[in-house]
Structure 1
Amino acid sequence: MIKRACLALPPALACTAIVIGAAMQHDAGSRRTMTQAAGLAVPSPAHRALTPQPVTPPPAPPRPSAAAAFAAPSPDTPPATATTPPPTAQPGPSSPSSAATAAPSPEPTPAASAERAASATPGPESPSPSPTPTRTGPKLPSGIATATSFWDAQTASGKPMRYQTIASPYWPLGTKVKITYRGKSVIGFVEDFGPAEWAVAQHRVPAILDLSELMMADLTGVRSNVVLVRFEVLEWGSGRVFRRSGTGHDLAMGRS
């Protein structure tokens, strides 16, 4: 095509045009070869000149969202600057609040002063209730003694003879006594006087106890008997006493 165009020119210009065309074809061939080697299809200059290239409009700027539109400052709005809130002014001595705080309280009336003084003055201490006195007397007597048995129609206390009747020459009437013989124990009350002085002294261990025959039979199996028993005074009686001295008195009082 270039040669055919050059034949219409004068000889001098035709040679120059042929040389230039050959060089342009060679340059285009070299570019096509390099582009094909890279995997790209590049049109020739002539094809590029004849084929109209589509005009791609520039991309439109993205539209801001509604939140960004409200958040983004407008060009005319000056940038916001961080402002520190002014410090709260402390009320001075002349402020109304301090004046109200420092205002003296009204003077108390004489009646209020007297009432406050009466409430502040300690009154006489009320006596605390005294504890119930505990009866702590001497230890009640106990020990080993000889016991005999008896049965009378009438007793010194005026009560009829019964199972729990005990006679003693040294314990007051009404005294409560615990008698134990070979592990068995019974409770009796002093309701009569005895034995006599001679009967107390005739035994190696003084016979300071006289048991009812029913009690003796319950303890030993024999109504009329003389045995050694253990006695324990549980509670003193308030009745009369037959003797305050004699054989076995110390034993009856727990002193021997």
Structure 2
Amino acid sequence: MLVLTGSSGRIDPGRCDLLSAHGMTAMSIRWFGGPGQPPGICEVPLETFVSALDLLAGTGVSRLAVLGVSKGAEAALMLACVEPRVEAAIALSPSSVVWANVGPGLDGVTEPYRSSWMWQGQPLPFASYPAEWPAEGPPTSFRAFYERGLAAAPPEAAIPLERTRAEVMLVSGGDDQMWPSLRFAEALAERRHVHIVSHPSAGHRPRFPGESPAQQSPSYLYGGSPHADAALGAAAWPHILTMLST
């Protein structure tokens, strides 16, 4: 299991330990902000994740899977679309489209907007952000901001989920205040059969059994509550274990 965090860019050893305790080989990587990597989520090569899968494959595992949250979920779904070795993709609080960059690329330039991802040397089509950023907060909700961006997104920015052979699970909270991940999940389900697990009161950061509640942020609103976020993770967890054991 390749484990991808969101726009924090951090490595997630805790989630890897949880998966390992259930018999999985799990690895989390830094995919931007490290040596030789873009300082932001800007034209990040999907080959970064392919190289990680190569390392996992070298351990002798029988199947390759990827689990990502938020921007990591966006990457996980795109990886499943281009890498046929991925047999299972689990996207927590996913997007249904490729978004513009968050921060600068290797050149240190943030604007004009470019794609978050590249594949085989070519930037992927993407949805741009609205001209006006949220004025409320902090803490700030970006949900309406992304809804406006989605309304103007070009069709080619959609994640082409119909191209993957992987089994796909989407985990979304109805009270996600970072972006409308349940709406995104429903849009992805229109492209391909997927398994959606949702909770109407959960937010952007579902927590699996054994994981501590996510810390509150002074800068961003994520929605949900510790109880609802844990309930969403608990509802998804047995399906994930079943999915990865078959």
**TM, length-normalised to structure 2:** 0.22
User: Which of 1 and 2 has greater Rg?
Assistant: 1
Q: TM-score, normalised by structure 1?
A: 0.22
